[in-house]
Structure 1
Amino acid sequence: MSAGSQTLYAWFAGSADRFGDCTALEVGGETLTYGELRDLVERLAARLVASAGGVAPRRVGLLASRSVTSYAGYLAILRAGAAVVPLNPEYPASRNAATAAAAELDTVIAESVGADGDLGVPLLVAGSEELAALRAQAPPALPPCPATPDDIAYIIFTSGSTGTPKGVPVLHRNIDAYLAHVVPRYDVGPGSRLSQTFEPTFDGSVHDLFVAWGGGGTLVVPRRGQLMSPVKFINTARLTHWFSVPSLASFASRLGTLTPGSMPTLRRSVFGGEALTLSQARAWQAAAPGSRLENLYGPTELTISCTEYGLPGSVEDWPRTANGTVPMGSCYSTLESLILDEKGEPAGTGELCVRGPQRFPGYLDPANNAGRFLTRDEDGTLEHHAGTSPLTDRHWYRTGDRVTVEEGGLLVYLGRTDHQVKIRGHRIELGDIEAPLREQAGVRDAIVLAVEGPDGEKDLTAAVSGSGCDAEELYSALRARLPPYMMPRRITALEELPRNTNGKIDRRALLAALGDTPH
Structure 2
Amino acid sequence: MDHLVDSTSRRHPDAVALETADGHTLTYRSLVVAAERVCHAVAGSGVRIPNRIGLVASKSVEAYVAYLAILKLGATIVPISSRAPLAWQRTMVQCAGLSLILADPKSWAGARELENLAAVSLVPSPTADPAPDPVPFAREEPQAAGEATAYVLFTSGSTGRPKGVPISHANALSFVRYIVDRHRPGPGDRMTQIFDFSFDPSIYDLFVAWGSGATLVIPGPTDVIHPVRWVSSRRISHWMSVPSIISMAAALRELPADSMPSLRLSLFCGEQLTVEQAEAWMRASPAGTIENAYGPTELTVTVTAHRLAADMHTWPRTSNGTIPIGQPYPGHDAIVVNDGRETDEGELCIRGAQRFAGYLDPQENAGRFLRAVGGHLEPLRENCPPKPDDWYRTGDLVRRDGDGTLTHLGRLDSQVKIHGFRVELHEIEGALRLHPEVIDAVVVAISARLGGAELAAYILGGEVDPRELRAMLVEILPEYMVPPRIRRLEMFPLTSNGKVDRPRLASMATEIGARRAEGRS
Superposition TM-score tier, normalisation by shorter sequence: 0.7 to 0.9
Q: Aligned residue for 2:504?
A: 488
Q: Aligned residue for 1:399?
A: 394
Q: Aligned residue for 2:335?
A: 338
Aligned-partner SS, 2:413: coil
Do structure 1's residue 42 and structure 2's residue 58 form an aligned pair?
no
- Cα distance in 1 for partners of 2:227, 2:509 equals 37
How big is the shift at 1:419? 3.8
Q: How does 1:340-359 map to 2 (within 5 A)?
A: 340-341=337-338, 343-359=339-355
How big is the shift at 1:145? 6.5
Q: How does 1:220-259 map to 2 (within 5 A)?
A: 220-259=217-256
Q: Aligned residue for 1:217?
A: 214
- Cα distance in 2 for partners of 1:187, 1:241 equals 10
Say whether the 8 Å CA contact 1:57–1:80 is kept in structure 2: no
Structure 2 portions without partners, runs of 5+ = 416-424, 430-443, 462-494
Say whether the 8 Å CA contact 1:58–1:106 is kept in structure 2: no
Do structure 1's residue 261 and structure 2's residue 258 form an aligned pair?
yes
Q: How does 1:56-95 map to 2 (within 5 A)?
A: 56-95=49-88
Aligned-partner SS, 1:338: strand
Aligned residues: 445
How big is the shift at 1:323? 1.0
Q: Aligned residue for 1:9?
A: 2
How big is the shift at 1:390? 2.0
Q: How does 1:41-440 map to 2 (within 5 A)?
A: 41-51=35-45, 53=47, 55-112=48-105, 113-119=108-114, 120-126=117-123, 128=125, 131-132=126-127, 139-144=134-139, 146=141, 148-341=145-338, 343-377=339-373, 379-406=374-401, 408-419=403-414
Q: Aligned residue for 1:467?
A: none
- Cα distance in 2 for partners of 1:284, 1:320 equals 17
Code of the residue aligned with 1:105 in structure 2: it is L
Say whether the 8 Å CA contact 1:78–1:84 is kept in structure 2: yes
- Cα distance in 1 for partners of 2:451, 2:72 equals 45
Between stretches 23-32 and 413-422, larger displacement belongs to 413-422
Aligned-partner SS, 1:488: helix
How big is the shift at 1:321? 1.1
Code of the residue aligned with 1:373 in structure 2: it is F
Aligned-partner SS, 1:234: helix
Q: Aligned residue for 1:507?
A: none
- Alpha carbons of 1:491 and 1:395: their partners in 2 closer, same or farther (altered >3 Å)? same
How big is the shift at 1:492? 8.1
- Cα distance in 1 for partners of 2:455, 2:408 equals 17
Between stretches 310-319 and 403-412, larger displacement belongs to 403-412
- Cα distance in 2 for partners of 1:285, 1:223 equals 24
Code of the residue aligned with 2:147 in structure 1: it is D
- Alpha carbons of 1:145 and 1:289: their partners in 2 closer, same or farther (altered >3 Å)? farther
- Alpha carbons of 1:152 and 1:363: their partners in 2 closer, same or farther (altered >3 Å)? same
Q: Aligned residue for 1:500?
A: none
- Cα distance in 1 for partners of 2:288, 2:451 equals 45
Code of the residue aligned with 1:33 in structure 2: it is T
Code of the residue aligned with 2:24 in structure 1: it is E
How big is the shift at 1:402? 0.7
- Alpha carbons of 1:145 and 1:312: their partners in 2 closer, same or farther (altered >3 Å)? farther
Say whether the 8 Å CA contact 1:46–1:80 is kept in structure 2: no
- Cα distance in 2 for partners of 1:492, 1:218 equals 40
Q: Aligned residue for 1:468?
A: none
Q: Aligned residue for 1:31?
A: 25
- Alpha carbons of 1:216 and 1:493: their partners in 2 closer, same or farther (altered >3 Å)? closer
- Cα distance in 1 for partners of 2:500, 2:263 equals 31
How big is the shift at 1:409? 3.0
How big is the shift at 1:261? 0.2
Aligned-partner SS, 2:36: helix
Query: CA offsets per residue over residues 409-459 of structure 1, 9 Å max, x none?
Result: 311001111249999xxxxxx99x99xxxxxxxxx9999988532437xxx
Identity %: 39
Query: CA offsets per residue over residues 164-201 of structure 1, 9 Å max, x none?
Result: 01100000010011112111111111000000110111
How big is the shift at 1:294? 0.4
Aligned-partner SS, 1:409: coil
Query: CA offsets per residue over residues 239-289 of structure 1, 9 Å max, x none?
Result: 000000000111111111111100000000100001001111011011001
Q: Aligned residue for 1:452?
A: 457
How big is the shift at 1:154? 0.5
Say whether the 8 Å CA contact 2:336–2:400 is kept in structure 1: no
How big is the shift at 1:389? 2.1
Query: CA offsets per residue over residues 35-60 of structure 1, 9 Å max, x none?
Result: 0111101101222233354x532111
Aligned-partner SS, 1:226: coil
- Alpha carbons of 1:451 and 1:241: their partners in 2 closer, same or farther (altered >3 Å)? farther
- Alpha carbons of 1:277 and 1:490: their partners in 2 closer, same or farther (altered >3 Å)? closer
Aligned-partner SS, 1:224: coil
TM-score norm. by structure 1 comes to 0.80
Structure 1 portions without partners, runs of 5+ = 1-7, 424-429, 435-443, 457-478, 495-509, 515-519
How big is the shift at 1:106? 2.4
